[in-house]
């Protein structure tokens, strides 16, 4: 069976409707043609998955809306086509209406224009429009109220200008070129080890070059460790009576641990580096940290944020990347190939591809579903509704295409008496509404863990276990029990093993790692957002 089975038939059946939608979104023939073909090419690359999930037209329409908004933001205004000097003899009033309506549509923001097209021309419900645009039903209603004047009656007139822009063969050719480029890159990478062996065989007994003794250049780009081999955690914290500052002119072979020492109302941080030494990190700037220092899961990157902005330091070199705004939340994907941040001031969201440091500002829904995890695919795992004592609803969303899939984790077979999947209950001060929040820990192997809370006298806010589940279908797979008779708190997954603390040590779920806690320092392993601190019984 071909990966493109059914694609031609879909384009033939729905190409006209997609073309009209594209023309209404853009108002220009050439832009509409580009929009349709770009969306179809992206859909063709993932056609097998789209066909399995169903609703391919909704998927393509979602891509078109997102693409048009993205183009509108980053491109200068395009000149409109010349208007006819004289109307045809049989429709003078209709030409005037088309001209006026086209100009009116052009004044709308892209989201307002998209709402009108989807709601009143495509005749989608408010819920379907919200799904197509990646926002809430409330946002659809508010955008409609802002944009809707007398356009509903006139929208069909504009649609008569639309042509047939959908071309299945061109879309498949574009998709094939993209796949060919990826395959060529993969072959080239696979050939590198073979070329190395040939070179080694030919070089024979050639003299080895003298070792390099100087520090690496700040601009050097060291290769990241394998995503499935996180840095080895230290068996003990090295002594550090007199600590050097983290060097600014060379790398320190990554980071294996962060140490947090209480200082007034905040904390001072130190880094246990891959070179086996402790280094002092800069003190909290004016205004304090909006996000305390956090290591990426692979130990390569160190991030912190303050009111002055956000700094991401590459620890294998001295390279520094800056985001010009403070953030209130930062999450790494399990293999540190993606970074998600939430802005401190306006609640905006940004997704960063770490390989080339490409930054993408996301369209934020209103209200925004909390992000439970960032996956290695670049997808966001957002908390859905409902969340009950025995089930957790999650929405797996691709922010680049807008594709979304709901996952329900049924925990009934994993819970014991007095246990619940609800870890935190948040109360909105304005509305008084109480939201149930489940805490999710992602893993690099396509699974994630959800915390299980033990309720009852003397056990408030105590996590008794973590249940791993599949991110494909939500199937519960494994229960990892923590402390049975005292405090316990999960930290994060380090490779396949869960790191947690009982208030006395950092413990690996495999049973082969235990790092005693010092009363003066908290410990934050790579990829963990929580700090493990010694508790006084």
**pLDDT tens figures, 225-245:** 334 468 889 988 888 778 899
Residue with tokens 């997954």: 493
Q: Has residue 469 got a pLDDT over 50?
A: yes
Q: What is the C-alpha to C-alpha distance for residues 285 and 233, in angstroms, rounded to an integer?
A: 29
pLDDT single digits (tens) 86-112: 444 444 444 444 545 565 666 667 777
Q: What is the C-alpha to C-alpha distance for residues 450 and 421, in angstroms, rounded to an integer?
A: 7
Instruction: Supply the mean pLDDT for the chain.
Output: 78
Residue with tokens 């294996």: 256
Q: Has residue 76 got a pLDDT over 60?
A: no
Q: Has residue 53 got a pLDDT over 80?
A: no
pLDDT band (50, 70, 90) for residue 52: confident
Mean pLDDT of 448-459: 76
Please give the pLDDT value at position 153.
41
pLDDT single digits (tens) 422-447: 765 554 445 455 556 778 999 998 99
pLDDT band (50, 70, 90) for residue 502: very high
Residue with tokens 């009852």: 456
The DSSP bridge pattern shows strands 291-295 and 514-516 to be: unpaired
pLDDT single digits (tens) 189-198: 555 555 554 4
288 to 32, 84, 309, 322, 332: CA distances (angstroms): 48, 62, 11, 17, 22
pTM: 0.58
Please give the pLDDT value at position 382.
92
Please give the pLDDT value at position 138.
76
Q: What is the C-alpha to C-alpha distance for residues 3 and 150, in angstroms, rounded to an integer?
A: 45
Domains of the chain with bracketed CATH: 7-76+88-169 (1.10.10.10), 219-363 (2.40.128)
Joined together, the tokens standing for residue 328 give 């209130």
pLDDT above 70 as % of the chain? 74
Of residues 189 and 328, the one with the higher pLDDT is 328
Nearest to 341 by CA among 309, 319, 314: 309
Residues belonging to the chain = 537
pLDDT band (50, 70, 90) for residue 365: low
């Amino acid at each position: 069976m071909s990966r493109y089975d059914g694609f031609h038939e879909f384009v033939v059946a729905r190409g006209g409707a997609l073309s009209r939608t594209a023309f209404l979104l853009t108002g220009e023939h050439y832009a509409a043609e580009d929009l349709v073909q770009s969306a179809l090419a992206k859909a063709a690359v993932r056609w097998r998955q789209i066909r399995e999930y169903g609703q391919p037209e909704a998927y393509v329409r979602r891509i078109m809306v997102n693409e048009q908004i993205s183009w509108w933001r980053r491109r200068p205004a395009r000149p409109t086509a010349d208007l006819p000097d004289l109307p045809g003899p049989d429709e003078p009033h209709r030409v005037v209406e088309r001209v006026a309506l086209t100009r009116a549509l052009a004044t709308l923001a892209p989201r307002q224009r998209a709402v009108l097209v989807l709601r009143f021309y495509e005749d989608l419900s408010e819920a379907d429009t919200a799904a197509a645009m990646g926002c809430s039903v409330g946002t659809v209603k508010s955008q409609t109220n802002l944009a809707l004047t007398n356009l509903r009656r006139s929208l069909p007139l504009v649609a008569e200008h639309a042509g047939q822009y959908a071309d299945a063969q061109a879309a498949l050719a574009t998709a094939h070129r993209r796949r060919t480029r990826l395959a060529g890159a993969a072959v080239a990478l696979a050939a590198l080890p073979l070329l190395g062996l040939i070179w080694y065989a030919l070089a024979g007994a050639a003299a080895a070059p003298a070792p390099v003794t100087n520090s690496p250049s700040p601009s050097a780009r060291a290769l990241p460790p394998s995503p499935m081999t996180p840095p080895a955690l230290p068996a003990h914290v090295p002594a550090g009576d007199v600590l050097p500052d983290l060097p600014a002119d060379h790398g320190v072979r990554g980071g294996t641990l962060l140490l947090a020492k209480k200082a007034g109302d905040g904390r001072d941080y130190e880094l246990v580096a891959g070179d086996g030494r402790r280094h002092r990190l800069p003190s909290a700037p004016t205004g304090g940290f909006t996000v305390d220092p956090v290591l990426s899961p692979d130990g390569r990157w160190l991030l912190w944020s303050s009111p002055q902005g956000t700094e991401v330091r590459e620890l294998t070199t001295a390279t520094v990347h800056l985001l010009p705004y403070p953030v209130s939340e930062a999450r790494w994907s399990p293999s540190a190939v993606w970074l998600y941040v939430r802005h401190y001031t306006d609640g905006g969201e940004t997704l960063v591809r770490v390989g080339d440091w490409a930054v993408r500002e996301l369209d934020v829904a209103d209200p925004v579903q909390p992000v439970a995890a960032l996956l290695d695919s670049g997808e966001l795992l957002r908390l859905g509704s409902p969340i009950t004592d025995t089930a957790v609803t999650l929405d797996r969303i691709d922010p680049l295409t807008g594709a979304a899939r709901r996952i329900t984790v049924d925990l009934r077979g994993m819970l014991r008496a007095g246990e619940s999947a609800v870890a935190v209950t948040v109360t909105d001060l304005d509305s008084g509404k109480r939201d149930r929040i489940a805490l999710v820990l992602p893993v690099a192997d396509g699974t994630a863990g959800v915390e299980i809370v033990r309720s009852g006298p003397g056990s408030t806010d105590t996590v008794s276990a973590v249940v791993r589940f599949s991110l494909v279908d939500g199937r519960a797979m494994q229960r990892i029990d923590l402390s049975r008779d005292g405090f316990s708190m999960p930290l994060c997954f380090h490779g396949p093993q869960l790191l947690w603390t009982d208030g006395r040590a950092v413990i690996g779920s495999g049973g082969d790692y235990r790092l005693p806690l010092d009363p003066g320092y908290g410990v934050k392993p790579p990829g963990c957002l929580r700090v493990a601190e010694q508790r006084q019984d």
